[in-house]
C-alpha cells in the first residue's frame, strides 16, 4: 500500500513538471540551446599555480605578456671630425753612412759605427757576422773589425782579383722583452785588386837644375821637430796628451845662409820604443808626404796650409796602441828640404785627406798618388824623433 502511494506521488510530480513546461512554452519562451564549444569560440582555461613560488612566476609571466613594446632607442654615436695637419710630408729614412771598408793586402778592415741605422739605437757586436766569420767580441764593442781572406768568396777576372763577402746584422731582442728596435741588415762588400801593375817608371824627362840647388845640397842642414802650443807660438813644455786632444807638430829647417828652402816630411812612424822597426808600429804619414791617418782611421788629422816654406805644421789626433797600457808613444819622422824654387812634385809634397786630398801649398794634383805609390825619392831624408 505504501509503494503504491510513492508511485502516485512521483507520477503526480512529473505531471506537475510537464504542466509547468507546457505553461512556459505557451508563454512564448524558447528552449535554451547548448553552448558552442568549437575552435572559433576559445575558452580561457587558465590553471592557477598550486604553491607560492609558482604563483609569483605566473604573475611575472603575466606582467611580461601585458608589458607594452619599447620604442625608445639610444642615439647613434657622434662621428668625430679628424683634425689632420693641412701640410704633412712623411719623413723618409735616410741611408746612413755608418760602414767603412779598407781593403788591405792581407785583411779587410771594416769600420761599423755602433749606431748602424743612424737612429740612435746602438747595436751589439755579437749580432754582426762578417762573411762566415764572427768579428772579435769584447766586453766593450770596438767599432773596427777585421776579416781574413779565408772568410770571403774569391773571384778572378781578366783584370782584377775580387774578394766578396756580406756583412750581416741580425738584432737580438731588447733586454728581456720579445721586441727589437732595429731591423736586419745585409751589406754586400767587394774588394777589387788589379792584376796588372806597372813595374817600370815612365820615360825620363831631363830637368834643368839651377846652380843654387846644387849649392844648397853641398851644405849641412839643421832640421827640427817640435810639439807646439795650441796657438803655434811656443814649443809645448809637456808631451802629455789625452785621447781627443790634437798634437801640434812643427817640422822646420834652419835657413842660416842657405838659399830659400822648403821643408817636407816624407815619413812618420809611431812605436812603443825609439826603434822604428819594432811591432806594433803605426805609419801615419807615408808615401813621400801623405798624411794617411785621416784615410786609415777617419780622424781629423791634417796638414795646415803653408805660411812659410821653411816650416810645416801638422795636426795629429791623439791615439794609443790597442791592448797597450804604457801610455808612451815615440814618433819618428824623416825630414827633407829642397830649394824653394823647385816645383812641388809627387815625391816633394805635403798632402792630407779631409773629404779629398789637399796639398799644403795648393798643388792638390800632386796628391793623386797618395793611395797608390808615389815613386822613389832623390835626396836622403833625415830622421828626427820626439
The residue extents of the domains of the chain are: 99-194, 211-385
- How high is the pLDDT of residue 279? 87
As assigned by CATH, the class of the 211-385 domain is: mainly beta
Residue 356's pLDDT is 92
- At 143 the pLDDT is 41
Q: Give Cα separations from 9 to 2, 4, 12, 14 (angstroms).
A: 11, 9, 5, 9
Strand pairing class (160-169; 144-148): unpaired
Locus of grid cell 512554452 = 25
Instruction: Please report the pLDDT score of residue 111 as a whole number.
Output: 81
For 32, what's the count of Cα atoms within 13 Å in the CB-facing half-sphere?
4
99-194 belongs to which CATH class? mainly beta
| Tens digits of pLDDT across the chain (386 residues) | 444 444 444 444 444 444 444 454 445 555 555 555 444 444 444 545 555 566 666 566 655 556 667 677 767 767 767 666 677 675 677 888 888 888 877 777 778 888 888 878 888 878 887 766 665 533 333 344 444 444 667 778 888 888 887 888 888 876 666 767 778 888 888 888 887 765 444 555 555 555 454 444 445 788 999 999 999 999 998 888 888 888 999 999 988 777 889 999 999 998 989 888 888 888 899 999 999 998 888 888 999 999 999 999 999 998 888 877 777 889 999 999 999 999 999 999 999 998 899 999 999 999 999 989 998 754 445 566 66
User: Which residue is listed with cell 753612412?
Assistant: 97
Evaluate whether 99-194 and 211-385 have a shared fold: yes
Q: Show the beta-strand stretches assigned E in the chain.
A: 99-103, 107-112, 128-130, 144-148, 153-156, 160-169, 185-194, 223-228, 246-253, 261-271, 281-286, 290-291, 302-303, 311-317, 330-339, 351-354, 356-359, 382-385
Handedness of CA 172, 174, 179, 182 (dihedral sign): negative
Amino acid at each position: 500500500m505504501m509503494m503504491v502511494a510513492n508511485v502516485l506521488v512521483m507520477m503526480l510530480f512529473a505531471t506537475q513538471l510537464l504542466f509547468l513546461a507546457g505553461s512556459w512554452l505557451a508563454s512564448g519562451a524558447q528552449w535554451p540551446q547548448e553552448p558552442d564549444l568549437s575552435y572559433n569560440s576559445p575558452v580561457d582555461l587558465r590553471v592557477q599555480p598550486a604553491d607560492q613560488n609558482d604563483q609569483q612566476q605566473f604573475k611575472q609571466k603575466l606582467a611580461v605578456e601585458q608589458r607594452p613594446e619599447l620604442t625608445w632607442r639610444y642615439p647613434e654615436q657622434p662621428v668625430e671630425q679628424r683634425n689632420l695637419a693641412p701640410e704633412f710630408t712623411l719623413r723618409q729614412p735616410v741611408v746612413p753612412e755608418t760602414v767603412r771598408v779598407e781593403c788591405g793586402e792581407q785583411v779587410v778592415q771594416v769600420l761599423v759605427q755602433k749606431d748602424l741605422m743612424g737612429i740612435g739605437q746602438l747595436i751589439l757586436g755579437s749580432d754582426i757576422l762578417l762573411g762566415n766569420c764572427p768579428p772579435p767580441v769584447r766586453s766593450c764593442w770596438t767599432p773596427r773589425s777585421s776579416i781574413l781572406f779565408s772568410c770571403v768568396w774569391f773571384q778572378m777576372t781578366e783584370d782584377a782579383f775580387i774578394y766578396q763577402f756580406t756583412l750581416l746584422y741580425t738584432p737580438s731582442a731588447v733586454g728581456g722583452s720579445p721586441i727589437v728596435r732595429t731591423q736586419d741588415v745585409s751589406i754586400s762588400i767587394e774588394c777589387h785588386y788589379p792584376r796588372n801593375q806597372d813595374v817600370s817608371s815612365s820615360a825620363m824627362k831631363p830637368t834643368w837644375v839651377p846652380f843654387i840647388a846644387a849649392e844648397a845640397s853641398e851644405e849641412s842642414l839643421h832640421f827640427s821637430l817640435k810639439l807646439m802650443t795650441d796657438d803655434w807660438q811656443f814649443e809645448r813644455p809637456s808631451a802629455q796628451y789625452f785621447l781627443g786632444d790634437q798634437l801640434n807638430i812643427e817640422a822646420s829647417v834652419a835657413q842660416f845662409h842657405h838659399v830659400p828652402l822648403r821643408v817636407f816630411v816624407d815619413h812618420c812612424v809611431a812605436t812603443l820604443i825609439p826603434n822604428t822597426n819594432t811591432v806594433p808600429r803605426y805609419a801615419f804619414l807615408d808615401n813621400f808626404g801623405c798624411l794617411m791617418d785621416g784615410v786609415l782611421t777617419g780622424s781629423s788629422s791634417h796638414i795646415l796650409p803653408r805660411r812659410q816654406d821653411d816650416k810645416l805644421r801638422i795636426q795629429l789626433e791623439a791615439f794609443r796602441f790597442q791592448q797597450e797600457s804604457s801610455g808612451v808613444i815615440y814618433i819618428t819622422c824623416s825630414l827633407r828640404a829642397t830649394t824653394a824654387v823647385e816645383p812641388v812634385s809627387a815625391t816633394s809634397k805635403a798632402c792630407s785627406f779631409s773629404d779629398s786630398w789637399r796639398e799644403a801649398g795648393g798643388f792638390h794634383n800632386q796628391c793623386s798618388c797618395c793611395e797608390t805609390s808615389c815613386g822613389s825619392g832623390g835626396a836622403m831624408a833625415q830622421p828626427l824623433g820626439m
